[in-house]
Amino acid sequence: MAASQRDISVSEFFAKNRHLLGFDNPRKALLTTVKEAVDNALDACEEAGILPEVWIRITPTGENRFRVDVQDNGPGILKKQIPLIFGKLLYGSKFHRLRMSRGQQGIGISAAGMYGLLTTGKPVRILSKISRTKPGHYYAIQIDTKRNEPEILNGRGEGDEIPVGERGRQAIEKLGIDWVDVDHGTLVTIELEARYQRGRGSVDEYLEQTALANPHVTLHYVDPEGKATTYARVTETLPPEPKEIKPHPYGVELGRLVSMLKETKATTMMQFLTSSFSRVSGNVARRICDAAKVSPRASPRKIGRHEADELYKAIQTTKIPAPATDCISPIGEDLLLRGLHKLVPGEFYAAATRPPAVYRGNPFVIEVGLAYGGGPATHRVSRETLVELISQTDARTLRQFLTSTFDGVGVQAADKILHEAGLRRRTAPAKLKDAEITRLHEAMQNVNLSDGQTMTVLRYANRVPLLFQAGACAITQTVMATNWRSYGLTQSRGSLPTGPVTIMVHMASVWVPFTSESKEAIASYPEIQKELRLALQAVGRKLGMYLRRRIRVKHEGERRNLFLRYLGEVATAVSEINQTDREELYQRLLKVAKRKTRQADLQFDDRGRPIEQDADDFGGGVLIVGDDGAPRAAETGVAAETPK
Amino acid sequence: MAKKTTNQDQAAAAPNLNPRDQHTLEQLVALADAVVRSAQSGVDPTLKIPTRTLSNVRYNRTKRIIEMGSARSDRQLFNLNQAKSYMQTLLVASGAKKLIAQGKTTSLRGMFYLSKHTIEGTREETFDDQSESDGIIEDLEVAINVLREELHLYAKNAGAMVGEITLIDSGDTIDCTRMGSGGYSIPSIVEPEVVQFAECNAKFVLHVEKDTVWRRFNEDKFWKTHQCILTHGGGQPPRGVRRLLYRLHHELKLPVYCLLDNDPWGYYIYSVIKQGSINLAYESKRMAIPEARFLGLRSKDFVECGLSNSVKIQLNETDRKRAKQIAKYPWFAHKKAWQKEIEQLLENGFKLEVEALISKDISYVTEEYTPTRLENEDWLD
């Protein structure tokens, strides 16, 4: 027994537990691979201050096999770092620091490489250039799962050098790599066993949502069928660079405090407190020491267990300013509105960025953008795409196909569409005939789903879309727990509200608390839930104002219509009784009606002056789109709540 | 193009109009002219309609009938809640004009169909069901102060009559002693133009509540043995029946006796015959019979006639409430006998139908009960 006990390497552990990293099934594996590569690319570009441009290409290489190429225009990677970054789990620059970034642990891309190796036996291939004038480097790497160490397969374990200029281009061509010619950047190629399928939780969806939350990014995407899509950037300015911060005293647990006391190089408590934590000034440090009855000049290394305990309590009771917020770069209300308007068709947009808050000493910012109106996903599908979707789906019935493929389509909505199309709910999608597909497509365009449509929730953590485990996520839970009825939407208890609403929620933080390593759901800390609730309520209020106003306008219109409808009848009846000329009477009545309703349209304030109806004060962060599709009233810009 | 024809031209164009129709037509045209006038002067077209609610009726103590008060409500075209009924009122007016001009009559249901159509350019119907048009017809009656018959409208026949009288209905002579088991069906329009009394040997009128009781009396030839007229109104008597009773009472000087169930509903029927109804308060003066008498059934009859327990019907909550309401009517409030009657009903806790007397004997009501009451003048007034 004892003899069989031995070390387990991280790589071995994750090779066996690949679901923890998001490789549970071939479809998700493809997404996770793309996601990890794109996230790394964006992080790298932003850290180097480069406007990111990313090329993503998925090429089928065989039955259930795809090659994923992701290239960026980032700074490139130093030669000796390349094998470690791509061939070693838990190797990275992001784990030990407190700074907002997409990646956190240093698992993602190497895990993707490992998965590729396990399923296809093909190594990860990396090509990186740091400048036009310096040679690039090419590596084929596989991970040694026993030792969690990279194994370089080419150039006798040293990698290949790609020369500068024309010779380099030929060399790249010989290697069979699709390199987009940029001065600097990195290309990762991973071949893996996967399945490509559009719809919910697909690569397409992930890229679209990434573009939404990253308005400064340009994405070029070529899907397995060779169709190219480009999401062009909306803004030319990079988000302000997030700064690395020290931990905030409120977020440090006792055990951590003790270890920090042991490790510090500071010689006095005063020095220790001010240098190891953020937001602790000399004054604050003194007050903490006073409260803990510890001398400010005591040596941190000599603080005993009991005194540490006192110190910990003192920190909790001392008033310390909230952590600095320049370590977080939220998207901002203006860009949220513009991004949403570009990707989600609608008539009303609202956004709110909360002031920074703290959970466990980690500052975070919650942002919410909301789009109302516009057709549901079913309206936007072309017939060709529908044929494709039908051929790819693994749903066994049409109803299942509709609900699983399109956002915001519930069982009721699906039934409505199928009824309209005259199709049976249980028909297998694969058995649809051509004419039936046409009917289904027409029904999808025609059926008004705004009643049966449920709110679409797009979740983001540090600008990365979260596509899975919606139910386990604090965002979804808080959206459901919010009472949307008071904002004019219908909602049954404990579920998402219905209506043509898309809501995007972004949590930006130096450390996003995920529920698992695959980074799919945010953990429910009470502080996070509170901020989520406040942000949701802020946009909810704006939506409520808009909807109420819309109802009011509709009522006025109905009122006028009502009168107009009856005028003709009245004129006819009167002329039948006393032979008056019908047309003339009708015109006269019409005149009176118009004057009457105009008067009725006006509401008066306390002093008897008419109130301008359009002057509802949304308090900023709102975009209203007119019938012509152009923004009609934009109250964008910096709202009162936007952090400085 | 201004108004081309004058009222006179209009009226003259119609075929053989009698003075009453002439008057009605003038009223309708005046209604339409008012709309034209307000449209020309840019004023909100408004109809003034006397309100037909309890708040706008009062009891005239000297005449002993319910009369309509002077309260009027405005019905405006440019008011969200009234626009549709305004339009409907004019549609009904136009329908009535057509009827009068063509010298035809129709039923309430006929008027519903005459005025019902889809509004141009919408899916909305001018009238959704008959109850709407019925209400509007009553509004029009009070608004231009004409009677339903004058609008050439009738309700469906309800109620029957037999007895010692001969009358002429639309030129046909009707001998009410030879009406078989069904009796003469009382039409809804019984105005002197339609119905004339030719010969009458009756000494009084006995009005019973329902067809079933009336059949018992007719089968036993009660009207022959007691020289009277026998009518029923099928529950709440319709206008035709009430108007006929009124004319029998006032023109032929026949006393009217009512034999109704012993329950709040029976009391109310009596109240309507005697004082008029709230809804048709404007017609009381030509329908109410303040001298009508309430023969039975009385709350005391259960004991007095020795009825068995099995004929009792328990009073429910609405019955009790209704009885208390009726007791407070000004025309009952000061009558000790009536107060006692209603008090006893509530005390009994049950109601009695006239049919209950059958439990004594099939013809108990015709041979025993009614003759005795009439003889002893044992009734409520």
Contact status of A426 with chain B (Cβ, < 8 Å): no
- pLDDT tens profile A469-483: 888 899 999 999 999
Does the residue B71 lie in any domain? no
H or E stretch covering A3: none
Q: pLDDT, tens digit, for every residue of A424-444?
A: 888 888 888 888 888 888 888
Q: Please indicate, yes or no, whether residues A491 and A581 belong to a single structural domain of this protein.
A: yes
Question: Mean pLDDT throughout A30-43?
Answer: 90
Q: Which structural domain, as residue segments, surrounds residue A582? A: 328-375+450-644
Same domain, B325 and B340: yes
Contacts of residue B6, defined as CB under 8 A and 6 or more positions apart, other chains included, come to none
Q: Cα dist. A546→A209, A481, B349 in Å? A: 25, 22, 60
Question: Does one domain contain both B144 and B231?
Answer: no
Q: Are residues B130 and B237 in the same domain?
A: no
Q: Flag whether A93 is in a domain.
A: yes
Q: Using the beta-carbon criterion (under 8 Å), do B93 and A579 form an inter-chain contact?
A: no
Cβ(B175)–Cβ(B224) below 8 Å: no
Residue B308 belongs to domain spanning: 160-376
Q: Is B349 exposed, middle or buried (0-12, 13-18, 19+ CB in 10 A)?
A: exposed
Lowest-confidence pick of A32-46, A186-200, A536-550, A601-615: A601-615
Contacts for A176 with CB less than 8 Å, ≥ 6 apart: none
- pLDDT for A597 equals 65
Higher pLDDT, A142 or A635: A142
Q: Is residue B66 part of a domain?
A: no
Residue of A566, A576, A578 with shortest CB distance to B83? A566
- For the domain that residue B97 is a member of, what is the CATH number? 1.10.10.10
B175 shares its domain with B269: yes
- What token pair was written down for A614? 């359009």
Residues on chain A touching B40 (C-beta within 8 angstroms): 588
Find where tokens 């009695």 sit. Answer: B352
A238 within domain boundaries: no
Q: Are residues A134 and A49 in the same domain?
A: yes
A595 touches chain B (CB under 8 A): yes
Q: Which pLDDT score is estimated for A609? A: 45
Query: Do B224 and B313 fall within a single domain?
Result: yes
pLDDT computed for residue A452 by the predictor? 62
Structural domain count of chain B: 2
Q: A232 CB near a chain B CB, below 8 Å? A: no
Q: Given an 8 Å threshold on Cβ–Cβ distance, is B1 in contact with A574?
A: no
Chain A partners within 8 Å of B35 (Cβ): 570, 574, 585
Nearest CA-CA distance, residue B56 and chain A, Å: 29
A489-498 burial by CB neighbour count: b if 16+ within 10 A, else e? bebeeeebbb
Residue B61 located in a structural domain: no
CA distance B256 to chain A (A): 42
Q: Summarize the confidence of residues A227-231 as an average pLDDT.
A: 88
Q: Report if residue A5 sits inside a domain.
A: no
- In this structure, is residue B54 part of a structural domain? no
* SS3 category, B66: strand
* Burial (0-12, 13-18, 19+ Cβ within 10 Å), A568: middle
Asked if B50 contacts B75 with a C-beta cutoff of 8 angstroms, the reply is: no
d(CA A297, CA A305) in angstroms, rounded, equals 18
d(CA B332, CA B339) in angstroms, rounded, equals: 7
Q: Does residue A369 share a domain with residue A384?
A: no
Residues B146, B175: one domain? Answer: no
Is it the case that residue A20 has pLDDT exceeding 50? yes
Both B106 and B167 in one domain: the answer is no
Candidates A563, A568, A585; nearest CB to B39: A585
A347 lies in the same domain as A395: no
Residue B270 designated active-site? no
In a shared domain, residues A283 and A334: no
CB B80 within 8 A of CB A555: no
Cis peptide before A602 (omega within 30 of 0): no
B255 vs B248: CA distance, rounded Å: 9
Q: Are residues A428 and A458 in the same domain?
A: no
- For A63-78, write each residue's pLDDT tens digit: 889 999 999 998 888 8
Q: What average pLDDT values come out for chain B (381 residues) when binned by 10 residues?
A: 43 62 89 88 84 82 85 82 87 91 88 87 82 88 85 83 92 91 89 89 92 91 92 89 93 93 92 86 86 90 88 90 89 89 91 90 90 90 83
CATH number of the domain bearing residue A275: 1.10.8.50
- For chain A, positions 78-137, list CB contacts with chain B under 8 A: none
Q: In this structure, what CATH number is given to the domain that contains residue A345? A: 3.30.230.10
Q: What is the 3-state secondary structure (H, E, C) of A493-546?
A: CCCCCECCEEEEEEEEECCCCECCCCCCCECCCHHHHHHHHHHHHHHHHHHHHH
Q: Beta strands of A279-376 (E only): which ranges? A: 348-353, 357-359, 362-372
Residue A322 inside a domain? The answer is no
Domain CATH number, residue B247: 3.40.1360.10
Q: Say if A237 falls within a structural domain.
A: no
Looking at residue A376, its pLDDT comes to 63
Put simply, the answer to whether B78 touches A578 (Cβ < 8 Å) is no
pLDDT for res B10: 45
Nearest residue of B to residue A567, measured between CA atoms: B87
List pLDDT tens digits, range A124-144: 999 998 888 888 889 898 888
Write out the two tokens for A68. Answer: 């994923």
Q: Is B59 helix (H, G, I), strand (E, B) or coil?
A: strand
DSSP A392-417: H---SSHHHHHHHHSTT--HHHHHHH
**Domain endpoint, select from A294, A317, A340:** A317
Same domain flag for B308 and B254 = yes
Note whether residue B192 is domain-resident. Answer: yes
Rg, chain B, Cα only: 23
Quick one: A69 and A142 in the same domain? yes
Least trusted range by pLDDT, from A118-122, A522-526, B4-8: B4-8
In this structure, are A427 and A491 located in the same domain? no
Catalytic: which of B113, B267, B364, B369? B113
List, in order, residues 6 or more apart from B199 with CB less than 8 Å away.
B165, B166
Sole residue written with tokens 């409208």: B153
Q: Domain boundary at B154, B179, B207, which?
A: B154
Residue A576: closest CA among chain B residues belongs to which residue?
A: B94
- Å from A229 to nearest chain B CA? 46
Q: According to the model, what pLDDT value does residue A159 have?
A: 81
Q: Is A407 exposed, middle or buried (0-12, 13-18, 19+ CB in 10 A)?
A: middle
Residue B53 counted as domain residue: no
The structural domain count of chain A equals: 4
**Between B52 and A97, whose confidence is greater?**
B52
Separation CA A32–CA A24 (nearest Å): 10
Q: CB pairs below 8 Å between A and B: how many?
A: 98
Q: What is the mean pLDDT of chain A?
A: 82
- Find the distance separating the first CA and the last CA of chain B, reported in whole Å: 62
CB burial of residue A56 (10 Å; 0-12, 13-18, 19+): buried
Q: Sign of the C-alpha dihedral, residues A165, A170, A174, A179? A: positive
Position A520 pLDDT exceeds 50: yes
| pLDDT for A533 beyond 90 | yes
Q: Which of B154, B174, B199 is the last residue of a domain?
A: B154
CA distance B223 to A401: 81
Are B10 and A578 inside 8 Å of each other by CB? Answer: yes
- For A326-377, write each residue's pLDDT tens digit: 778 888 888 888 888 877 778 889 999 998 888 877 888 999 999 987 666 6
Residues B209 and B131 in one domain: no
Give yes or no: residues A422 and A566 share one domain: no
Instruction: Note whether B97 contacts A576, CB cutoff 8 Å.
Output: yes
Q: Note whether A112 and A141 are same-domain residues.
A: yes
DSSP string, A136-182: EEEEEEEEETTTTEEEE-SGGGT-EEEPSTHHHHHHHHHHT------
- The confidence score (pLDDT) of residue B245 equals 94
The answer to whether B90 contacts A565, with C-beta atoms less than 8 Å apart, is no
Chain A: closest CA distance from residue B187 (Å)? 28
What is the mean pLDDT of the segment spanning A576-581? 87
Residues B356 and B258 in one domain: yes
Residue B381 one-letter amino acid: D
Flag whether A463 is in a domain. yes
Q: Which residue has the tokens 């009070």?
A: B142
- Cβ distance B93 to A589 less than 8 Å, yes or no, reads no
Are residues B202 and B84 located together in one domain of the fold?
A: no
- Within-domain flag for B48: no
Looking at the structure, do residues A338 and A293 belong to the same domain, yes or no? no
Mean pLDDT (whole number) for A560-565 = 74
Structural domain ending residue among the three candidates B154, B187, B210:
B154
Length of chain B: 381
| Domain co-membership, A436 together with A521 | no
Does the residue A241 lie in any domain?
Answer: no
Within this chain, do residues B310 and B241 fall inside the same structural domain, yes or no? yes
| CATH code for the domain in which residue A51 is found | 3.30.565.10
Which residues of chain B have a Cβ shorter than 8 Å from any chain A Cβ? Answer: 1-5, 7, 10, 28-29, 31-33, 35-36, 38-40, 42-45, 77-78, 80, 83-84, 86-87, 90-91, 93-94, 97-98, 119-122, 124, 126
Which residues of chain B lie closer than 8 angstroms to A580, CB-CB? 3, 32, 36
What are the structure tokens assigned to B376, written together? 């002893």
